[in-house]
Structure 1
Amino acid sequence: MPKFLPRITGTEAWLTCVIALICLGLSLTTDSFLTLVNMFDILNYSAVNLIFAAGLLVVLIAGGIDISFAVGASVVQYLVAIALPGLGGGNWAMGFVLAIAFGTMLGAINAALIYHFQIISIVVTIATFNLFFGLLMFFTGGRSIYMLPDWLVTRVVVFERETAYGWAEITLPVIVMAAVLFSTWLLLRRLNLGRQLFAMGDNPEAARRLGIHIGAMHYLAFGWMGACAGIAGLMQAHYAQEIVPNALYGRELEVLAAVVLGGARLGGGRGTLLGAVLGLALVAIAQNGLNLLGTSPYAFRMIIGAIILIAIGMPSGAPAYLTRLLRRPGGPSKGVAQ
Structure 2
Amino acid sequence: MPETRSRRLPIGGVEGWLLVVIALIVAYLSIATDTFLTLVNVFDILNYSAVNVIFAAGLLVVLIAGGIDISFAVGASVVQYLAVTALGRIGGGDWALGIALSLVLGACLGAINAALIYHFRIISIVVTIATFNLFFGLLMFFTGGVSIYDLPDWLSSRVVLYDVETDLGWAEITLPVLVMVVTVFATWLLLRRTSLGRQLFAMGDNTEGARRLGINLGAMHYLAYGWLGACAGLAGLMQAHYAREVVPNALYGRELEVLAAVVLGGARLGGGRGTLFGAILGLALVSITQNGLNLLGVSPYAFRMIIGFVILVAISLSGETIGLVASRLRGPKAAGSVR
**TM-score, normalised relative to structure 2:** 0.94
Per-residue CA deviation, residues 263-285 of structure 1 (Å, 9 max, x unaligned), is: 10111000000010000000000
Residue 279 of structure 1 aligns with an amino acid whose one-letter code is: G
1:160 partnered with 2:163? yes
Given candidates 65, 87, 99, the residue that maps to 2:90 is: 87
Q: Distance in 2 between matches of 1:18 and 1:156?
A: 33
Which structure 2 residues correspond to residues 212-291 of structure 1 after superposition, within 5 A?
A: 212-291=215-294
Q: 1:336/1:226 Cα in 2 relative to 1: closer, same or farther (>3 Å)? A: closer
State the 1:235 CA deviation. 0.3
Q: Distance in 1 between matches of 2:21 and 2:36?
A: 16
Q: Distance in 1 between matches of 2:316 and 2:21?
A: 18
State the 1:323 CA deviation. 5.7
Residue 60 of structure 1 aligns with an amino acid whose one-letter code is: L
Q: Distance in 2 between matches of 1:193 and 1:239?
A: 33
Given candidates 66, 76, 79, the residue that maps to 1:76 is: 79
Q: Distance in 2 between matches of 1:322 and 1:140?
A: 50
1:114 partnered with 2:131? no
Q: 1:87/1:274 Cα in 2 relative to 1: closer, same or farther (>3 Å)? A: same
Moved runs in structure 1, 4+ residues, more than 6 A?
333-337
Q: CA RMSD in A?
A: 1.9
State the 1:317 CA deviation. 3.0
Which structure 2 residues correspond to residues 21-40 of structure 1 after superposition, within 5 A?
A: 21-40=24-43
Residue number in structure 1 paired with 2:302: 299
More helix by percentage: 2
Residue 255 of structure 2 aligns with an amino acid whose one-letter code is: E
Q: Distance in 2 between matches of 1:136 and 1:10?
A: 42
Instruction: Name the SS for the 1:317 alignment partner.
Output: helix
Residue number in structure 1 paired with 2:180: 177
State the 1:232 CA deviation. 0.3
State the 1:316 CA deviation. 1.0
Per-residue CA deviation, residues 44-99 of structure 1 (Å, 9 max, x unaligned), is: 00000000000000000000000000000000011101210233210000000000
Residue number in structure 2 paired with 1:47: 50
Alignment coverage as a number of residue pairs = 331
1:186 partnered with 2:189? yes
Check whether the contact 1:9–1:320 (CA below 8 A) recurs between aligned residues: no
Q: Structure 2 stretches of 5 or more lacking a match?
A: none
State the 1:314 CA deviation. 2.8
> What fraction of aligned residue pairs are identical, expressed as a percent?
73
Q: 1:335/1:258 Cα in 2 relative to 1: closer, same or farther (>3 Å)? A: closer
Check whether the contact 2:324–2:335 (CA below 8 A) recurs between aligned residues: no
Residue number in structure 2 paired with 1:15: 18
State the 1:25 CA deviation. 0.5
Per-residue CA deviation, residues 214-263 of structure 1 (Å, 9 max, x unaligned), is: 00000000000000000000000000000001000000000000001101
Q: Distance in 1 between matches of 2:328 and 2:31?
A: 30
Q: Distance in 1 between matches of 2:332 and 2:104?
A: 56
Check whether the contact 1:11–1:319 (CA below 8 A) recurs between aligned residues: no
Q: Distance in 1 between matches of 2:9 and 2:99?
A: 29
Q: 1:273/1:336 Cα in 2 relative to 1: closer, same or farther (>3 Å)? A: closer
Q: 1:176/1:335 Cα in 2 relative to 1: closer, same or farther (>3 Å)? A: closer
State the 1:318 CA deviation. 4.8
State the 1:315 CA deviation. 3.6
Check whether the contact 1:54–1:180 (CA below 8 A) recurs between aligned residues: yes
Residue number in structure 1 paired with 2:208: 205
Q: 1:333/1:268 Cα in 2 relative to 1: closer, same or farther (>3 Å)? A: closer
State the 1:167 CA deviation. 1.2
Residue 46 of structure 1 aligns with an amino acid whose one-letter code is: S
Q: 1:115/1:335 Cα in 2 relative to 1: closer, same or farther (>3 Å)? A: closer
Instruction: Name the SS for the 1:212 alignment partner.
Output: coil
1:105 partnered with 2:108? yes
